[in-house]
Amino acid sequence: MDIRISPSPISGSIEGIASKSFAHRALICACLANGKSKIKINTTSADIEATVDCLRNLGAGIEKNGVTYEVTPIGALPEKAKINCGESGSTIRFLLPVICALGIKTEIHGSGRLPERPLSPLKEELIRMGAVISDAFPLDVYGKITVGEYSLRGDVSSQFVTGLLMALSYLGGGVIKLIPPVQSRPYIDITLEVLRTFGADIKEENNTFYINKSSLVGCNFTVEADWSNAAFPLCMGAEVTGLNPASTQGDKAIIDVLEKMGADITRTDGSFKADVSALHGCRVNASDIPDAVPVIAAVAATAEGETVIYGGERLRIKESDRIMSTVSMIRSLGGDITETDDGMIISGKPYLSGGETDSFNDHRIAMAAVVASLRCKGDVIIRNAEAVNKSYPAFFEDFNKLGGKARVM
pLDDT computed for residue 223 by the predictor = 97
Give me the pLDDT at residue 134, please: 96
CA distance 184 to 249: 10
291 is catalytic: yes
Q: Which of 47, 291, 358, 362 is catalytic?
A: 291
Task: Show pLDDT as tens, one digit a residue, over the chain (409 residues).
Answer: 999 999 999 999 999 999 999 999 999 999 999 999 999 999 999 999 999 999 999 999 999 999 999 999 999 899 999 999 999 999 999 999 999 999 999 999 999 889 988 899 999 999 999 999 999 899 999 999 999 999 999 988 899 999 999 999 999 999 999 999 998 899 999 999 999 999 999 999 999 999 998 889 999 999 999 999 999 999 999 999 999 999 999 999 999 999 999 999 999 989 999 999 999 999 999 988 989 999 999 999 999 999 999 998 878 877 789 999 999 999 999 999 999 999 999 999 999 999 999 999 999 999 999 999 999 999 999 999 999 999 999 999 999 999 999 999 8
* 20-222 maps to CATH 3.65.10.10: yes
Assess if CATH 3.65.10.10 describes domain 3-16+225-408.
yes
Q: Distance (Å, rounded) from C-alpha 233 to C-alpha 99?
A: 37
pLDDT at 312: 87
Q: Comparing C-alpha atoms, which of 326, 406, 405 is closest to residue 365?
A: 326
Q: Where are the domains of the chain?
A: 3-16+225-408, 20-222
* Residue-level pLDDT at 315: 82
| Neighbouring C-alpha atoms within 13 Å toward the C-beta of 113 | 16
Give dist(CA 339, CA 285) in Å, integer. 15
Question: Does 20-222 match 3-16+225-408 at the fold level?
Answer: yes
Residues 169 and 200: their CA atoms lie apart, in Å, by 6
pLDDT of residue 318: 75
Categorise residue 279: left if φ over 0, alpha if ψ from -120 to 50, beta otherwise.
beta
Among the listed residues 354, 349, 400, the one whose alpha carbon sits nearest the alpha carbon of residue 376: 354
